[in-house]
Copies of this chain bind each other. A is one copy, B any other.
Amino acid sequence: MGRRAVVLLSGGLDSATALAIAVEQGYRPCALTLRYGQRHEREVDAARRVAEAMRVTRHVVTAVDLRAFGGSALTDDLEVPKGGRGSADPEDIPITYVPARNTIFLSMALAWAEVLQASDIFIGVNAVDYSGYPDCRPEFLAAFEHLAALGTRAGVEGSRPFRIHAPLIDLTKAEIIRRGLALGVDYGMTRSCYDPDASDAACGECDSCRLRLAGFAAAGARDPAPYQAR
């Protein structure tokens, strides 16, 4: 049996791929899904489907309520941007950025890892397609590893240091999809749309759908997830 690893699982394409890579590397994955006031319970349903299909050892769904703070299109009732990055300047941080989200997510994963006596955490962040998000950069992840070493019992007692695995960090969306398909990920179970309809069909037009569809096109594959008729 491999070591336990905590895998952050959102229900989207990237984290499902990160989970498949953890399994491929011989870890026994414990999946962690965080409700953070996102508008679509369907993301959580997708995470449950993926966790079940990939036979994770344990799946915990727990809440971190970020709505109290406001400040992002994904937690507020702001309109989701369509047809662009949600910003006039492509160098800007997109409006869909959620403040400190990955810091909070990794902290929660760290707490669970500490309880499980696991020292490996997988996160599906990507620095290529999400270059505008400060908390998707390699230097951020390295800083978190350093923090984890100082802030935990395991770090102080000198056992195996925590390692943050971000296997998608340097991949394009097309590369992520090819990798996942090769590992047998069923992307029909995953959801990425910021604005799905009542039947859970994706809009095809929000930033997240555009990135996903362009990725499948570049990978030469068809996206098996449901889309609204256009």
Contact = CB atoms under 8 A, between A and B. Distances in A.
B62 A115 contact: no
Contacts of A137: 150
Contact of A140 (B68, B111, B147): B147
A151 B146 CA distance: 14
Interface string A31-70: 0000000000000000000000000000011111110111
Contacts of A61: 68
Given A99-B110, A103-B148, 11 more contacts: A64-B108, A69-B115, A71-B111, A97-B153, A99-B152, A101-B111, A102-B151, A104-B107, A134-B152, A137-B150, A140-B150
Contacts of A134: 150-153, 155-156
Contacts of A115: 69-71, 99
Interface of A: 60-66, 68-71, 93, 97-104, 107-108, 110-112, 114-115, 134-135, 137, 139-140, 143-144, 146-148, 150-153, 155-157
Nearest to A93: B153
A interface SS class = helix
A74 to B, nearest CB: 12
A153 B69 CA distance: 15
